[in-house]
Amino acid sequence: MTDLAAEPLARAVGTKTAKALAGLGLETVEDLLRHYPRRYEEPGRFTDLAHLTAGEHVTVLAKVAHVSRRRAASGSTWVLTATVTDGHARLTLTFFPRQARAAAYLEHRLQVGQSGLFTGTVARYRGDLQLVHPDFLTFDDVDAEAAALVEAAKPMPVYGASAAIPSWKIQQAVRTVLDPLTEDDLPDPLPEEVRQAERLPGLVEALRGLHRPHDDPEWRRARARVRFEEAFVLQAALARRRAAVAHLAATPRPARPLGLLAAFDAALPFPLTAGQRVVGAEIGEDLALPHPMQRLLQGEVGSGKTVVALRAMLQVVDAGGQAALLAPTEVLAAQHLRSIRALMGPLAEAGMLGGAETGTRVALLTGSQSTTARRAALLEVASGAAGIVVGTHALLGEAVQFADLGLVVVDEQHRFGVEQRDALRAKADGVPHVLVMTATPIPRTVAMTTFGDLEVSTLREVPAGRTPVTTHVVPADNEAWLDRVWARAREEVASGHRVYVVCPRISGDEGPAGVEDDPGEDLADDDGRPGPEGGGPGARGPALAAVVDVVEQVRRRPELAGVAVGVLHGRLAAEEKDRVMAAFAAGEVGVLVATTVIEVGVDVPEATMMVVLDADRFGLSQLHQLRGRVGRGSSPGLCLLVSHAAPDTPAGERLAALAATADGFALATLDLRQRREGDVLGAAQSGRASSLRLLRVIEDADVIARAREVAGRVIDADPDLTAHPALAAAIDRWLGAEREEFLARS
């Protein structure tokens, strides 16, 4: 990278323009060049004005149909009104110049028959749509008539803009820095041999094709090149991480024919699914190698990931090591402890009365433990008596010392920061094997981007005996249906079952539920209602359901008279959470009003019904996880999604899709298509803007797969990128050391 591309924009385009561009996150010349057009207006084709909506910030291409000016009633200003049209619909432009000379100048520029671009925020006045004081550029503003005709015949780039700087001013700024640019000013991350093999233009040629195309094929070819470049740089970074890990040494943990794992398998009361056997063999082979396993285990809801992870942990214990299972919440850690001990039985009670001689112990470490319990657990961990250690962030404390940490299992990895995962890895004497688990289905292309340095194992098959969950959408304004919801809840409790009621917030005066325990980032705002942040006093639309309010409402429901109603959310003390869950599991509590703290890991086989209030506030994948908490026993499950969203809104369509299918992978793909993809590299953790500007992880699956293959060959031949400095610089610049480490640790 030369100084020109890294040059501050103030030097290149002036202080005023640079300040406006900074509001879009554009600080350097390269930032501006990488601010690609959002779309292109076709020559001679006007914007469809009939589909504009109030509040929308737009740039429209239209023709002036009428202009008039008059003095305002106050007499101190003028009012100039212009009507523009696309040939069918019309849009009003309104200006309030202070002087007659300014009004006359505007009228001269906006002559009838003149075509131009008009930018502003759409407002509604007396039933009509209008732009007030819009920025505009007419084709006659181009200096020479011949130049105007040439420009009018080209595709016109439209940029993501702001009120401070309209699209065409961005276009002018881009041209200022692009026109004198040479190949030496902007080294190409794509090696020449890759460009030739893939028949792609060079970087500067591609930038000119994107920002100043002569025709549609030119910008489409340029966009294809940049998409491949984004995929290639990312995949090269991932390939470099894979190569680095392959050269690290780790203690092999091979399986023992007659060890703890064999005893566990023999005692299992149910057969493993075919998928569990295949994935288990993959993990077992990885653990036996002399370099660290880096594997992602993802699975459909209820597919038995815990059993697979436990078998891996037992293989490591058989080989003389210890395994640590890091869970994001105390509720989930406690659930894992109960599940593992229940599955292992006497094998988890080594040295205890009735314990198996070949067994081990399972210890729990959480932040809320008593001093006595914590000391006992720390001793078991340090001595090696506990082969399996389950815990929350407390596992990361300085006082926690392992005898021989051989395997780190991270459950729900997206709930942990980079530093937290790294701190647990550092507790091993060498490099531990790593198994990352997620219950959120991940489309293949997302796995190739977010988890491209990990081998991916997928469980799709649900064990025999799991009953399907029926899902229905309930309109929140239909009182008769809501009455039936609570009547059905009473019927479930009367039959010996349990009912969850899920709310998006803890209380009405707080933000998203459970900062520590509940993933608020999945809450969506795509139907116009305020999200949890905006649901307080004065917010538009009905207030979002909050646990502390809903629990009292549920207790007052006549249908649930005499039914014990419990409360669970992320801000309760750990002892209270455990007490509530134990009471719910035992049937002492029939209805549990909770936040999404129950989203993963909570396993109460008697729970058969879930009511999700304000269901339109959650993402598809999160809703799929929530409904996976019911129907885990022999009785069928029922999930009712109470929603204010109209059926024809994106939120309404999302809920209808959830009700129509139980395929978590299909839902995850739909969720990603419907919502902004964001930065699959973890921008929230690195604080940087997205490095994927044009690449679409769903639609561009073939591009990603091809880039992965090509990047792998480049890294195999040049692992340190000594011969490819521009590619190395692009990885550092786009990903940065922090973000590349995120890839390594995800």
Superfamily of domain 48-140: Nucleic acid-binding proteins (2.40.50.140)
List, for residues 26-40, the tens digit of each pLDDT value: 999 989 999 999 988
State the pLDDT at residue 99: 86
List, for residues 51-103, the tens digit of each pLDDT value: 888 887 787 888 899 999 988 887 778 999 999 998 889 999 999 888 888 88
List, for residues 613-663, the tens digit of each pLDDT value: 999 988 887 888 888 889 888 889 999 999 999 988 888 988 998 999 887
Whether the Cβ atoms of residue 500 and residue 540 lie closer than 8 Å to each other: no
State the pLDDT at residue 736: 60
Question: Which has more pLDDT, 351 or 23?
Answer: 23
Whole-angstrom distance, CA of residue 202 vs CA of residue 208: 10
**Phi then psi for 407, rounded to 5 degrees?**
-145, 130
Per-residue pLDDT for 294 more than 80? yes
Extract the tokens encoding 641: 């999604």
3-state secondary structure of 573: coil
pLDDT band per the 50, 70, 90 thresholds, residue 437: confident
Domain ranges of the chain: 1-43+154-186, 48-140, 260-459, 469-674
Poorest-pLDDT segment among 204-208, 422-426, 528-532: 528-532
Extract the tokens encoding 316: 């490591």
* Nearest CA among 613, 629, 617 for reference residue 332: 629
Whole-angstrom distance, CA of residue 607 vs CA of residue 467: 12
Per-residue pLDDT for 529 more than 50? no
Extract the tokens encoding 653: 């369509």
Whole-angstrom distance, CA of residue 729 vs CA of residue 286: 33
Whole-angstrom distance, CA of residue 594 vs CA of residue 598: 7
- The structure's pTM equals 0.66
Whole-angstrom distance, CA of residue 655 vs CA of residue 580: 30
Which residue do the tokens 């890895």 mark?
A: 425
**How many other CB atoms are there within 10 angstroms of residue 303's CB atom?**
26
Extract the tokens encoding 185: 């000013």
Residues with Cβ within 8 Å of 24's Cβ and at least 6 positions away in sequence, in order, are: 35, 160, 161, 162, 165
DSSP type of residue 479? H
Helix (H) or strand (E) holding 439: none
Question: Which has more pLDDT, 392 or 422?
Answer: 392
Q: What single letter denotes the amino acid at residue 329?
A: T
Question: Which has more pLDDT, 669 or 129?
Answer: 129
State the pLDDT at residue 449: 64
State the pLDDT at residue 578: 83
Mean pLDDT of 374-381: 93
What are the contacts of 397-405 at 24+ separation with CB within 8 A? 400/365, 400/427, 401/427, 402/322, 402/324, 402/427, 402/428, 403/322, 404/251, 404/320, 404/321, 404/322, 404/428, 404/429, 405/321, 405/322, 405/323, 405/324, 405/429, 405/432
List, for residues 563-576, the tens digit of each pLDDT value: 999 999 888 887 88
Residues with Cβ within 8 Å of 595's Cβ and at least 6 positions away in sequence, in order, are: 502, 503, 504, 505, 506, 513, 514, 517, 518, 547, 568, 569, 570
State the pLDDT at residue 413: 56
pLDDT band per the 50, 70, 90 thresholds, residue 471: very high
Question: Which has more pLDDT, 384 or 72?
Answer: 384
State the pLDDT at residue 522: 32
Whole-angstrom distance, CA of residue 408 vs CA of residue 426: 11
State the pLDDT at residue 445: 61
Per-residue pLDDT for 278 more than 90? yes
Whole-angstrom distance, CA of residue 594 vs CA of residue 370: 26
List, for residues 496-524, the tens digit of each pLDDT value: 999 999 999 998 765 544 333 333 323 33
List, for residues 296-340, the tens digit of each pLDDT value: 898 877 788 889 999 999 999 999 999 999 988 887 888 889 889
Q: Which CATH architecture has domain 469-674?
A: 3-Layer(aba) Sandwich (3.40)
Extract the tokens encoding 256: 């023992």
State the pLDDT at residue 398: 79
Whether the Cβ atoms of residue 637 and residue 631 lie closer than 8 Å to each other: yes
State the pLDDT at residue 2: 52
Whether the Cβ atoms of residue 293 and residue 251 lie closer than 8 Å to each other: no
Per-residue pLDDT for 540 more than 60? no
Which residue do the tokens 């921008």 mark?
A: 683
State the pLDDT at residue 674: 64
pLDDT band per the 50, 70, 90 thresholds, residue 463: low
3-state secondary structure of 450: helix
Per-residue pLDDT for 680 more than 80? no
- Over 581-632, what HEC string results? HHHHHHCCCCEEEECHHHCCCCCCCCEEEEEECCHHHCCHHHHHHHHCCCCC
State the pLDDT at residue 313: 97
pLDDT band per the 50, 70, 90 thresholds, residue 462: confident
Per-residue pLDDT for 399 more than 90? no
Note whether 48-140 and 469-674 share their fold: no
**Alpha-carbon torsion, ordered 520, 440, 409, 311, to 10 deg:** 150
What are the contacts of 644-651 at 24+ separation with CB within 8 A? 644/475, 644/476, 644/477, 644/527, 644/529, 644/541, 644/542, 644/614, 644/616, 645/527, 645/529, 645/616, 646/527, 649/526, 649/527, 649/528, 650/526, 650/527, 650/674, 651/524, 651/526, 651/527, 651/616
User: 3-state DSSP: the chain helix, strand, coil percent, rounded to 5?
Assistant: 45, 20, 40
Per-residue pLDDT for 116 more than 60? yes
Q: Transcribe 315-370 into DSSP letters.
A: HHHHTT-EEEEE-SSHHHHHHHHHHHHHHHGGGGBTTSTT--TT--EEEEE-TT--
Question: Which has more pLDDT, 699 or 78?
Answer: 78
Per-residue pLDDT for 491 more than 90? yes
Q: Beta strands 115-125 and 57-71: pairing type?
A: antiparallel
Q: Using alpha carbons, list the distances in angstroms from residue 653 to 98, 315, 619.
A: 48, 45, 12
3-state secondary structure of 453: coil
Whether the Cβ atoms of residue 388 and residue 313 lie closer than 8 Å to each other: yes
**Phi then psi for 573, rounded to 5 degrees?**
-65, 150
Extract the tokens encoding 401: 């010392």
**CATH number corresponding to 260-459:** 3.40.50.300
Task: Work out the percent of the chain whose per-residue pLDDT is above 90.
Answer: 40
Helix (H) or strand (E) holding 298: strand 294-299
* Whole-number average pLDDT of the chain: 82
- The b/e string for 264-302 (b: 16+ C-beta within 10 A; e otherwise) is beeeeeeebbebbebbbebbbebbeeeebbbbbbbbbbb
Per-residue pLDDT for 684 more than 50? no
Per-residue pLDDT for 452 more than 70? no
List, for residues 214-223, the tens digit of each pLDDT value: 899 999 999 9
Per-residue pLDDT for 679 more than 60? no
The dihedral through the CA atoms of 593, 610, 495, 577 has a sign that is negative
Q: What single letter denotes the amino acid at residue 440?
A: T
Per-residue pLDDT for 710 more than 50? yes
State the pLDDT at residue 465: 62
Per-residue pLDDT for 489 more than 60? yes
